[in-house]
């Protein structure tokens, strides 16, 4: 049986708000500011970026991706690991973004009607890296700005899931 329901952008907004207020912006002074749906072009980062994802399997198949600029990644690592931004090393960014993808992905997974499994996070970084899933379609994406840097949270569903659902 394939589930036909999928997470919504409202779910992503709620999840992001809670992750930010718990770890990245506890004082509530530097929130993630969502863009309007038409502004997603603003997130196409020129320059170095990070992309952290988890995969969900079971009754629902797909991926949850958190991506942002390298600078946003360093800020995230600084916030999570209680460091100053200049002290942050690349491994810190990888660990921090991986955990953020894990938390966002886990919360997305919990919105699904049946209990699914979540993979370990997978993090890639480099110039112009972007989430690209040939066998999946994007279900929804939350894009916004944090500390003037672009951030994207997206959910992708496997094509085979959607084909089954349609048949």
Contact footprint for another protein (CB under 8 A) = 8, 10-11, 14-15, 17-19, 21-23, 26-31, 33, 77, 80-82, 95-96, 98-99, 102-103, 105-107, 109-111, 115, 118, 120
CB of 101 to another protein, least distance (A): 10
Pick the closer one to another protein by CB: 9 or 159.
Answer: 9
Pick the closer one to another protein by CB: 71 or 101.
Answer: 101
**Side-chain-side CA neighbours of residue 21 (13 Å):** 6
CB of 102 to another protein, least distance (A): 6
- Per-residue exposure over 122-149, b if at least 16 CB sit within 10 Å of its own CB, e if not: ebebeeeeebebeebeebbbbbbbbbeb
Residues 11, 140: Cα–Cα separation, whole Å: 10
CB of 60 to another protein, least distance (A): 12
Pick the closer one to another protein by CB: 92 or 163.
Answer: 92
The DSSP-derived string for 30-42 is S--EEPPGGGGGG
CB of 95 to another protein, least distance (A): 5
Pick the closer one to another protein by CB: 107 or 158.
Answer: 107
């Amino acid at each position: 049986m394939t589930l036909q329901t999928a997470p919504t952008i409202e779910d992503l907004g709620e999840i992001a708000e809670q992750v930010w207020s718990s770890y990245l912006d506890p004082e509530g002074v530097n929130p993630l500011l969502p863009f309007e749906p038409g502004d997603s072009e603003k997130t196409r980062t020129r320059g170095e970026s990070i992309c952290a994802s988890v995969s969900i399997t079971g009754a629902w198949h797909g991926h949850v991706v958190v991506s942002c600029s390298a600078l946003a990644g360093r800020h995230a690592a600084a916030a999570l690991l209680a460091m100053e931004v200049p002290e942050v090393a690349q491994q810190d960014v990888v660990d921090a973004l991986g955990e953020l993808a894990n938390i966002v992905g886990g919360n997305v997974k919990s919105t699904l009607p049946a209990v699914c499994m979540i993979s370990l996070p997978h993090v890639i970084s480099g110039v112009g890296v972007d989430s690209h899933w040939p066998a999946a379609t994007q279900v929804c994406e939350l894009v916004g700005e944090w500390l003037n840097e672009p951030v994207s949270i997206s959910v992708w569903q496997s094509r085979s899931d959607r084909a089954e659902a349609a048949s």
